[in-house]
Structure 1
Amino acid sequence: MVLISGDFGAAFNMVNFCQNLGLLCVYATTKRECAESVNEKGELVKTSIFRHVRFREYEK
């Protein structure tokens, strides 16, 4: 199993390359949780937490 992510063009080429070798190619999916607050300076602060959900197989 090969985890492939990142730049679309590079990922596309890597998926094709690995699939041609018979390897299982997967990517991670996440859930984004956001919170907004105001700090002591009155500035809006946004915090994002990404939680892993599952791996998905690239289609052939």
Structure 2
Amino acid sequence: MDKKLILLFSHKLTPQQLKDAEEKLNCKEIIYLNEELSKLWQNILPETDIQVFKDFLMKNGKAGDYVLIQGEWGTVYNMVNFAKEKNMIPIYSSTARKVVEEKSSSENQVIKTSVFEHRGFYRY
């Protein structure tokens, strides 16, 4: 049975994440937040009413669907618990970080670049 992957996540999935979602989670449909909710998700404050995200999940998902939840810790905690209450499957994306340091043209600066590589999806 095909499942959906609903994203409470601040960016688009990488090709590797899309492949993993289809092959390992059997998700044929990916549902992103709309532009308004995406902006709200990226700028959550303690006073933000997260009911809009609960409504989004209820409108777009059903029991057994996956929900990729990453972001502000308190909101993530609340949304993971909500997804579990609704028998959805909350997951996160694990990554490996590769850091490259190089000296800049100025002797007083070092440039650090982080590259994140998808390792897999895991249940909360």
TM-score (normalizing by structure 2): 0.45
- 1:51 aligned onto 2:117: yes
Higher RCO (CA < 8 A, seq sep 6+) = 1
Q: Secondary structure at the match of 1:18?
A: helix
TM-score (normalizing by structure 1): 0.89
Partner of 1:2: 67
Structure 1: runs of 5+ lacking an equivalent = none
Task: Report the Cα distance in structure 1 between the residues aligned to 2:103 and 2:73, rounded to whole angstroms.
Answer: 35
Between structures 1 and 2, the one with greater strand share: 1
Alignment size in residue pairs? 58
Runs (4+) off by over 6 Å: none
Instruction: Pick the aligned partner of 1:21 from 82, 86, 89.
Output: 86
Structure 2: runs of 5+ lacking an equivalent = 1-65
Partner of 1:41: 106
Between structures 1 and 2, the one with greater helix share: 2
